Amino acid sequence: MARGIVVLMACVALAWVMELGDALVPGRWLDSNGIVPRTLSGLWGILFAPLLHGGFAHLIANTVPFLTLGFLVMLRGLGTFSGVSLLVILLGGLGVWLFGAPGYHIGASGLIFGYIGYLLARGYFERSFTSLAVAVVVAVLYGGALWGVLPGQRGISWEGHLFGFLAGVATAGVMRSRPRSAVLA
């Protein structure tokens, strides 16, 4: 678990270092490396978008949910955390790339919504006491955030939220623990 916490903190530190670099160089040059829908260069943005933010307020707003939800995903181990994160980034990012509005889509909120979707759906798919308890905690703490998957505020990538959430649900289905079958002799 200690290694997992180090990984979580390293991800956050990298996002903060990148935002600091982006703030120090005039023109917000890193933000242009986000997801740009339906462009070849925008495909690379799928990998970089979760680390890029539209200012320190945006980064602060994403840091606590990333740490909280990332920790809950990490309870299953570093491998699960890595697999969930990678699948959500790739699937959610591809959804934004295919269907997103024109412009740069940046920020960790797609990944955060992916964690929400994963943790809620894991409770549904697995129905174990632990996964259901975690799903209830997530629903209580972050259920209100689900309104963010709907179009609303200008300049907010609701598409990133929606496709991140859907990628999290799909990932929970793919990665669910299956009960062992009884073997008859």
The residues near 182 (Cβ < 8 Å, ≥ 6 apart) are none
The residues near 60 (Cβ < 8 Å, ≥ 6 apart) are none
Q: Decide: helix, strand or coil at residue 106.
A: coil
At 102 the pLDDT is 95
At 184 the pLDDT is 55
- R_g over Cα of the chain: 17
How far apart are alpha carbons 28 and 21 in whole angstroms? 9
DSSP 150: S
CATH architecture of 2-175: Up-down Bundle (1.20)
At 179 the pLDDT is 57
Rounded-to-10 torsion of CA 153, 159, 161, 167:
170
At 1 the pLDDT is 82
At 62 the pLDDT is 97
Give average pLDDT by consecutive 10-residue segment, the chain, 185 residues.
94 97 86 95 95 96 98 96 98 98 96 98 95 97 95 92 98 81 53
β partners of residue 35? 105
Domain chopping of the chain, boundaries: 2-175
At 85 the pLDDT is 98
At 94 the pLDDT is 98
User: Tokens 């909120």, residue?
Assistant: 109
